[in-house]
Chains A and B, each alone.
Chain A
Amino acid sequence: MKKTPLYEKHVDLKAKIIDFGGWAMPVQYTSVIDEHNTTRAQATLFDICHMGEIEVKGPQALNLLQVALTRDISGQKTGQVRLSTLLNDKGGIIDDLTVYKIAEDFYMLVTNATPRESDFQRISSILDNKKFDCKLLDISDKTGKLDLQGPCAEAILQSMTDADLKSIRFYSFVESKVAGIPALISRSGYTGEDGFEIYAAAGKIGVIWDKLMTSGTANGLKPAGLGARDTLRLEAGMMLNGQDIMEDISPLEVPYSWLVDWKKDFAGKAALMTIRDYGIQKKLVGLVMTGRGIARHGYKVMSGSREIGEVTSGTFSPTLNKAIGLAFVDIEFAAPDTEISIAIRDTVSPAIVVKLPFYKRQRQ
């Protein structure tokens, strides 16, 4: 298994380590619920070094990304972050990634861990084909990433950087230093809370981790693992690549239609237009269990005795104190308030379709 630069720190902290797509990652340090609740109430720190980073540099960097990505990023300003999907020729989602505009001719793409190489190949082949004047560089191995998430994140990070964090808006970033280490600080995350994603050289990311862990303790900072990351993102209604989103799923079947800009041309558009015109047959929806039990990945969704879909993610929500999930259902069952049921082992238990997200933080 691949190890992040922080692996030994997790072992020292007695984290439970799991195989996450070939990476040895901490799933929890103490308890998923405790780490989850600490993120909602104070702040937690996640090792996210397994995610990928790809640089796109050159005079025609924007031209390449406009063709590669479904989102129109021509209006994106330097210092802003945008989410987009990257499609295959069948209109299926290879990845949902974030685009950092560092300069007019310089972008950084932040990819999910597993599709990182597919992303690189896909964009490379578009580049080879279109011959734009720009270069692609996979900098994942030399780039470290930490997510500092929770209402106390700003106070904790501010003591370690000269950057004025208050002035960084959601989905924006600055280049500065954290604990003396050059870093890119982005106000974003995958938990539904306020917080930051911090990028720095892989060889120095441990210094930032240590400083945050030391100085954050007074503000209740704890390390958190992928277990809490999963329950947090699910409460926030965010999808997990490889579990809720797969290469045979188009952005129209999941809550990603807003990432598709039909007015421009992009890779996979022809197939996606066919899917749109034919009409989608199933849709990813949120569900809340109204009966006993917890919906889990792979469980069948039923309407009476008819099988109408499958659960992709499901858990017990520590914040809402009920079982929640995401599921693909036949399109006629996708409207909020539709009563469905979930086949759990040898019984079926009632559930209801709800609007996403399950949880929304109170903004100041």
Chain B
Amino acid sequence: MSKSNPTDRLYSKDHEWVKDNGDGTAVVGITDYAQEMLTDIVFVELPPVGKKLAQGEPMAVVESVKSVSDVYAPVTGEIIAVNKTLEETPELINQDAFGEGWIAKLNLENVAELKSLLNAADYDALIKEEKH
């Protein structure tokens, strides 16, 4: 069973989460549901710090034993930090997708974009639908 989706952040339809730090920056990762679908993450390719990404652009790559999946930037911004620990221990995403398994931190370029994302309840409904 997936862990419940925390209400302190927003979600994309592509199963990324964004946590607004309230200081113009946000942390991004993939959801617990996403890691459960991928299973056994064995490799993560992180974006370079300083890279500017538009909302919906490929930001990182997450590979399981079987598959390669893009992680998309859920909001427009510039990468200001990445979770280097994932290079050695990509399974952190499986273990703690909403915490230790965060992927990148970015400067929010357009706060209005956050409105296009889902809240936890809407995201719950989305994955419930996908499971059927």
> Which A residues lie at the B interface, using CB under 8 A?
27-28, 31-33, 36, 227, 230-231, 292-294, 296, 315-316, 318, 323, 345
Is A32 a contact of B40 with CB atoms below 8 Å?
yes
Residue of A with least CB distance to B68: A296
A32: which of B39, B43, B45, B61 is its contact (CB, 8 Å)?
B39
> Which B residues lie at the A interface, using CB under 8 A?
39-40, 42-43, 45, 61, 63-66, 68, 87
**Across the interface, which residues of B come within 8 angstroms of A230, CB to CB?**
66
Is B66 a contact of A27 with CB atoms below 8 Å?
yes
Chain B CB within 10 A, most for which of A33, A292, A315: A33
A33-B65, A315-B65 are contacts. A294–B40 as well, Cβ < 8 Å? Answer: no
Q: DSSP class of B's interface residues: helix, strand, loop or mixed?
A: strand
Is A318 a contact of B65 with CB atoms below 8 Å?
yes
- Shortest CB distance A342–B (Å): 13
Task: Please give 6 more A-B residue pairs, beta carbons under 8 A apart, in addition to A33-B42, A293-B45.
Answer: A28-B39, A31-B39, A293-B43, A294-B68, A315-B65, A316-B65
The 6 closest A-B pairs by CB, nearest first: A316-B42, A32-B65, A33-B40, A31-B39, A31-B40, A227-B66
- CA gap between A96 and B42 in the complex, in Å: 31
Is B45 a contact of A315 with CB atoms below 8 Å?
no
**Across the interface, which residues of B come within 8 angstroms of A31, CB to CB?**
39-40
Q: DSSP class of A's interface residues: helix, strand, loop or mixed?
A: mixed
**Across the interface, which residues of B come within 8 angstroms of A293, CB to CB?**
43, 45
- Shortest CB distance B79–A (Å): 16
Residue of B with least CB distance to A32: B65
Is B43 a contact of A316 with CB atoms below 8 Å?
yes
A294: which of B39, B63, B87 is its contact (CB, 8 Å)?
B63
Residue of A with least CB distance to B58: A345
Residue of A with least CB distance to B65: A32
- Shortest CB distance B109–A (Å): 23
**Across the interface, which residues of B come within 8 angstroms of A316, CB to CB?**
42-43, 63, 65
Is A231 a contact of B65 with CB atoms below 8 Å?
yes
Residue of A with least CB distance to B87: A292
- Shortest CB distance A296–B (Å): 6
**Across the interface, which residues of A come within 8 angstroms of B68, CB to CB?**
294, 296
- Shortest CB distance A290–B (Å): 15
- Shortest CB distance B3–A (Å): 17
Is A315 a contact of B66 with CB atoms below 8 Å?
yes
